[in-house]
Amino acid sequence: MGLPRAPQQQQQQQQKNKEKSSVSSNNFNHHQDMDMNFEDEPIDDTTESSNLEDSMCDVDDSNPGTDKTSADYYFDSYSHFGIHEEMLKDVVRTKTYQNVIYQNKFLFKDKVVLDVGAGTGILSLFCAKAGARHVYAVECSHMADMAKEIVEANRFSNVITVLKGKIEEIVLPVAQVDIIISEWMGYFLLFENMLNTVLYARDKWLVNGGIVLPDKASLHLTAIEDAEYKQDKIEFWNNVYGFDMSCIKKQAMMEPLVDTVDQNQIVTNCQLLKTMDISKMTPGDASFTVPFKLVAERNDYIHALVAYFDVSFTKCHKMTGFSTGPRSRSTHWKQTVMYLEDVLTICEGEQLVGSMSVAPNKKNPRDVDITLKYSLNGQRCLVSRIQHYKMR
């Protein structure tokens, strides 16, 4: 999951990434530390398949007057091949899932597996190759049709059944499954709201003692210095060829930026905000308010807070997972940057304290509303503010 955002945001984000890559290498470069070891087996890039496509249906574009929501674009976006290619080429993501399955065949041997949001079926293929008795690959976009062809081409038709439709609407040929596997994570972990679909499938079909993969996810927060890029993207609107366009600046501030953060920009510690146990949590647990306390590790300025997530597979021989943080190898999820209205001057040891509230948008549940409360009572800066962000 975690696709380039649908509708206007998708094009805007692509343009942001292009613009951002031209900024000085001192600001948002791509030098990341490798924090995971992958097996030597190469990924087969000739198969355009991915599991990032979640429970979704296609949108009828025949009526140009249709008032599409971001959810509609989300459904439709997973019908495009370029997205599958991008997700599959995310080596951190794809190889982690492959390693979990191939290196823990004891979990899959003779088991019935449900692949939630199968896309073109890469995870289903991994599971079948690992010895699963049967895999039900559920996909609601046009990719379901391609997944059937891929399954046939790889001679797994006797093991993998592709079902086209929403998880909430399809009928499985079995009453229960032993394993549910899904790649449901979006930007900021929860953008696109695929998690609730996985929880629905868990409650309806997972046998007692069955497992969900991955089974743990955690959201983290840190603070960065980012003067140059904030000036380029936010303060720009104050004076556009001599005209005041600061009304756009207010909107730009509300939209978190998804991009790769240079670890050298990190000013504070990184704090765990929320851990989710996918095996036990309820849908309501995806809405929460949590406190944070970020401690400065040097004298510097803070221009933005940065969120990222980790996922874990704890049922393996050896606990496996990956991080999307700025100190880890880059993934397609990158990080989520939330610019602050204030430029904070912070001294080493001082604390930026506050709370973050997260909830699905009431109108479009695949979108995320974020409220950030923060305060700093330091030697050189005294500030207290509430800011609202909308991931669309």
The catalytic position among 183, 225, 255, 350 is: 183
Q: Examine the residue annotation and report whether 183 is marked as an active-site residue of this protein.
A: yes
Burial of residue 359 (CB within 10 Å: 0-12, 13-18, 19+) is middle
Q: What is the dihedral of CA 63, 65, 71, 72, to 10 degrees?
A: 10
R_g (Cα) of the chain, nearest Å: 21
- Cβ proximity of 332 and 2 under 8 Å: yes
Output helix, strand, coil percentages for the chain, rounded to the nearest 5. Answer: 25, 30, 40
Name the residue among 126, 391, 120, 61 with its Cα closest to residue 255. Answer: 391
Q: What is the rounded CA–CA span in Å between residue 350 and residue 347?
A: 6
List phi, psi (to 5°) of 75.
Answer: -55, -50
Give the pair of three-digit tokens for residue 54.
Answer: 């979640």
- Cβ proximity of 122 and 52 under 8 Å: no
- Cβ proximity of 182 and 115 under 8 Å: yes
The catalytic position among 53, 139, 192, 350 is: 192
Beta bridge partners, 162, equal: 137
Q: How many CA atoms lie within 13 Å of 311's alpha carbon, on the beta-carbon side?
A: 26
Cβ density class 198-228: b for 16+ within 10 Å, e for less: bbbbbeebbeeebbbbbbbbbbbbbbbbbee
Three-state DSSP class for residue 255: coil
Pairing of the two strands 206-213 and 177-182? parallel
Catalytic positions:
183, 192
